Amino acid sequence: MKFPRRQLAKRDARGSMLFLCIAVLAVMLVIVALAFSFYLVFFSHKNLQSRSEDLALKCARQLNENDHGGKINNLIAHSRELVFTSRELYRRTDNDEFRGLQSLAAQVLEQSRSGALLVKDERNRYVDVCLQNLKKVAKDAEKNDAGLFLSKFSTSAGEVVDLRVGDMGQTLSNVEASSGVYNLNSYDRQQNFVKPGKEAELFVSNVNLKLPGEDSDLEFQLASLPGPVKGIAAPLRLTRGNGFKNSLVLRSAGQDGNGKCQVIPSAVQVTMSMNVKQSIVGEFDSKTKTVNTACANGAWAEP
């Protein structure tokens, strides 16, 4: 049985249209699958970014919790002033008028020097405790992350691959320079140990504020914690990290490291990574990474 040419042409047109529709539908499905795949990757990265920010803030909070770092800074400065005044008092007993008080002055000087060493030891102990707490916070964050598992899409748990402590390159501490001891204040000005701050003269940070003469063997270093402005302490905060100055690497390439900090860190930088696998459109594995920097809260006003 033969069909007219016009009827055959209509059948061919309908067949071509059906094939075209199927092809367009297949292309649209591929595009949707690709878009969904990219969305899941983007969502995973944003989720990792959020967890990394939270971890950076938790770590930064450990550095000056309850203003322990700011109080230690003030204690170091007061201890330094006590050593200087004790040395001056001892020198005044060299003349006949006060020679009878020389043994007492020597005892006061020795106690002030011993106190300075004790403050330094406590500062170092506090720094060690802070660093151990940071490692624990990082490990807890990894344990509480189970990753994401969907059909043909999965992510690994977020891993803290790099953890560093330091400061933001700030050269000033929170400690105000006292003008009550004129000779010491004059010496500090000559040595550039004090700089003008927003409201008062402040001691510089991360520098050994050596005393002159016989007491130059003692070490006095202040952390770069910002002081209060108009009585208000700087809040715990995230920062871009452009000026981050590394003091110690606590973790590198996923492995914990050892080391010491000379002063209390005031900032922390966290790098997290996560593996992403998907087989929605083809199969590929990728890795996403985030870097976040957070600053500890500033010191409170000294009572």
Q: Are 244 and 129 in contact (CB under 8 A)?
A: no
Would you say residue 15 has pLDDT above 70?
A: no
| pLDDT score for 31 | 64
Does 223 map to a domain?
Answer: yes
Contacts of 85 (CB under 8 A, 6+ apart): 181, 184
Does 228 map to a domain?
Answer: yes
Q: Are 264 and 206 in contact (CB under 8 A)?
A: no
Q: How many helices (H) and strands (E) does the chain have?
A: 4, 11
Q: Is 286 helix (H, G, I), strand (E, B) or coil?
A: strand
Where residue 210 falls (left for φ over 0; alpha for ψ -120 to 50; beta otherwise) is: beta
Query: 250: closest CA among 139, 122, 123?
Result: 139
Q: What is the pLDDT of residues 40-86, one digit of tens each?
A: 667 777 888 999 999 999 999 999 999 999 999 999 999 999 999 99
pLDDT band at 14 (very low <50, low <70, confident <90, very high): low
Does 187 map to a domain?
Answer: yes
Q: Are 220 and 76 in contact (CB under 8 A)?
A: yes
pTM tops 0.85: no
Pairing outcome for strands 267-278 and 284-295: antiparallel
**E strand or H helix that includes residue 78:** helix 68-92
Q: What is the pLDDT of residues 248-270, one digit of tens each?
A: 999 998 888 888 888 999 999 99
In angstroms, the CA 220 to CA 200 distance is 20
Q: Which residue segment(s) compose the domain that 53 sits in? A: 12-295
- C-beta neighbour count of 18 within 10 angstroms: 10
The proportion of the chain whose per-residue pLDDT surpasses 90, expressed as a percent, equals 55
Does 232 map to a domain?
Answer: yes
Q: Are 174 and 299 in contact (CB under 8 A)?
A: yes
Structure tokens at 281: 């459109």
Contacts of 194 (CB under 8 A, 6+ apart): 177, 185, 188, 201, 202, 203, 204
Does 120 map to a domain?
Answer: yes
Does 172 map to a domain?
Answer: yes
Does 300 map to a domain?
Answer: no
- Give the total number of structural domains in the chain: 1
Does 303 map to a domain?
Answer: no
DSSP state, 262?
A: S
Q: What is 163-212 written as a DSSP string?
A: EEEEE-S--EEEEEPPSSSHHHHHHHHHTT-EEE-SSSEEEESSS--PPS
Q: What is the pLDDT of residues 107-139, one digit of tens each?
A: 999 999 999 999 999 999 999 999 999 999 999
* Burial class of residue 231 (count of CB atoms within 10 Å of its CB; 0-12, 13-18, 19+): exposed
Q: Are 194 and 177 in contact (CB under 8 A)?
A: yes
